[in-house]
Amino acid sequence: MTNKRVLLGAMWLMVFPVVTFAQNVTNSPYTRYGLGQLSDQTSAMSRGLGGSAYALRDSKFVNFANPASYSGVDSLTMKFDLGMSLQNSNFSDDDNVSLNAKNSSLDYLMLNFRLAPHLGIAAGIMPFASVGYDFDASSESTDEEASNINYSGSDGFSQAFVGLGYDVLPNLSVGMNASYLFGTTTKNQTQLFPNSDTAYPTVISRSVRIKSYKLDFGLQYQMHYSKDLSAIIGATYSPGVSVNNTSYISKSTYTTSGTVDTSYRYDLSSPIDYASHYGLGATLMWKNWLFTADATYEDWGGCSYPLVNLGDLPNESTDNIDAANYNTYSDRYRLSVGTQYQPNPNGRSLWSVTRYSIGGYIDALQYSYDNQRAAYEYGVSVGLAMPVFRSNSILSISGQYSILKPQVTGLLEENRFKISIGLTFNERWFFKRKIQ
């Protein structure tokens, strides 16, 4: 009965996130650029290690950052893993004007089990990229041409995947994820003319809907030196893709009474690029300690996002406008490190078997402004993973403090504190019961 309840609950949760993941999980004005804020592709446990995950392999957790790890699942176990996060953000400018914002989100839901000897399978759903911002830009002029502009954006893209991990050799594993990307984002620009009786308010809205696919490949190699010393090397690769999308821009002007004066729609035919991804990680395990580090490179500088000079839009609805593909990205580099300590893996007390972690990272983000890298992100994290009373399940909690530091004058600085909570159900399903 317990297994049936878990299965029914998991099936319900697999449907529920399709709606939940579409909600805003960020208030960052940087999500105005390109696809938005790319989602963290790591579990709550890995986030306590600064986000390092490429070379992690553990039978008690689902590590979707490297599909080669799926083959490490115990042959008798079905794993369900779900995570959520709570975030508080502070935005400030050069004049020390600040604003606070709070967000919460369901981050991932997945399962992992042994499909055949040496072959593990995983499936799940998680956010892919998010857009969420709302800010004003006002003109200091007092003439009739002066305007106030509000910029806002919402929604995001989700990622559903299925993956396989296979032990090619006793110490060598390979894996692959096949993902389906879907969702819609909307970005609005509302312009008002407070000092004019003849210039009408204008609303320009851009909608992007994607339905596309992505592949991720992974490799892990294990090295055992002694009973107390071992190491893992991990690598990941995702080829860049041109994302299938349906995009359009609508432009509407309103009279002072609020009725529509003119309205036009422009369908866009330009593709949206997603960068190639390269990841390399290493983990060293010595007695009760674990040390891990990841390096990531994504060639966003070679990608483009379709932009349109709004002043050149004709005063009529038009199909298939070829947007000018301006480069709105910089290459992304990320380095993360972390360490974990477990006092006694075979202990009887809760605190002796709990895993304690600390980590940090630096991320040269892909956002670009005026052909310059817009910002760097720096972060530190702590976490713990503890067994749930009278079960094989594990509760992971991590806290992360990060600073997004602008590199261009006029952009905002972000300070974020994020709490990630993950719950991994390890259910022993695949064993034969003996009847006496």
Residue listed under structure tokens 């390399």: 280
Number of domains comprising the chain: 1
Say what the pLDDT of residue 167 is.
96
Query: Is residue 435, in this structure, part of any structural domain at all?
Result: no
The reported pLDDT for the residue numbered 171 is: 94
Least confident window among 93-102, 169-178, 219-228, 391-400: 93-102
Q: Is 223 a domain residue?
A: yes
Tell whether the model's pLDDT for residue 183 goes beyond 60.
yes
Residue 315 falls within a domain, yes or no?
Answer: yes
Is residue 204 within 8 Å of 250, Cβ to Cβ?
Answer: yes
Q: How far apart are CA 215 and CA 323, in angstroms?
A: 27
User: In terms of residue numbers, what domain contains 313?
Assistant: 2-428
Structure tokens at 414: 């972000």
Residue at 69 is within a domain: yes
Residue 313: its pLDDT value, please?
Answer: 63
pLDDT of residue 308: 58
What b/e sequence results for 228-264 when a residue is b if at least 16 CB atoms lie within 10 Å of its CB, and e otherwise? eeebbbbbbebebbebebebbbebbbbeeeeeeeeeb
pLDDT single digits (tens) 71-127:
998 877 788 899 999 999 888 877 666 788 888 888 999 999 998 999 999 999 999
| pLDDT score, position 229 | 96
**What would the pLDDT profile of 16-60 be if each residue is shown by its tens digit?**
444 445 455 778 888 888 888 888 889 999 999 999 999 999 888
Return d(Cα 51, Cα 48) in angstroms, integer.
7
Report yes or no on 195 lying in a domain: yes
Residue 56: predicted pLDDT: 96
Separation of alpha carbons 365 and 173, rounded Å: 30
**pLDDT(329) > 90:** no
Q: What average pLDDT is seen over the chain?
A: 83
Q: Is residue 436 part of a domain?
A: no
Cβ distance 46 to 65 under 8 Å? yes
Instruction: Please state which of the ranges 7-16, 38-47, 355-364, 426-435 shows the lowest mean pLDDT.
Output: 7-16
pLDDT (tens digit per residue) in 236-288: 999 998 888 888 888 888 776 667 677 777 777 677 888 999 999 999 999 99
pLDDT of residue 323: 54
Residue 185 pLDDT more than 70?
yes
The answer to whether position 434 is within a domain reads no
Confidence of residue 371 (pLDDT cuts 50, 70, 90): confident
Report the pLDDT value the prediction gives residue 119, as an integer from 0 to 100.
95
C-alpha distances (whole Å) from 407 to each of 132, 380, 384, 412 are: 21, 20, 34, 10
Please list, residue by residue across 357-372, b when 16 or more beta carbons sit within 10 angstroms of its beta carbon and e when fewer do. Answer: bbbbbebbbbbbbeee
Residues 6+ apart with CB under 8 A from 1: none
Give the tens place of pLDDT for each residue, 336-349.
Answer: 999 999 999 888 88
SS3 388: coil
- pLDDT, position 20: 47
Q: pLDDT digit string (tens) for 130-164? A: 998 888 776 655 565 667 888 888 888 999 999 99
| Residue 79 domain flag | yes
Q: Which pLDDT does position 30 carry in this prediction? A: 85
pLDDT the model gives residue 327:
57
What's the confidence (pLDDT) of residue 307? 65
How far, in Å, are 334, 347, 383 from residue 420 at the CA level?
20, 26, 9
Residue-level pLDDT at 178: 96
Q: What is the DSSP string of 75-130?
A: TTEEEEEEEEEEEEEEEE-TT--EEEEEEEEEEEEEEEEEEETTEEEEEEEEEEEE
Give the pLDDT confidence score for residue 315 in this predicted structure.
64
Report the CATH number at residue 101: 2.40.160.60
In this prediction, residue 303 carries a pLDDT of 83
For 313-326, what is the mean pLDDT? Answer: 58
Query: 403-417 pLDDT, tens per residue?
Result: 999 988 888 899 999
Residue 166 has pLDDT above 70, yes or no: yes
Are 318 and 308 a contacting pair, CB within 8 Å?
no
Gap between the Cα atoms of 67 and 303, Å rounded: 25
Please report the pLDDT score of residue 3 as a whole number: 45
Average pLDDT for residues 296-308, to the nearest whole number?
82
Q: Which of 386, 414, 342 is nearest to 87 (CA)?
A: 414
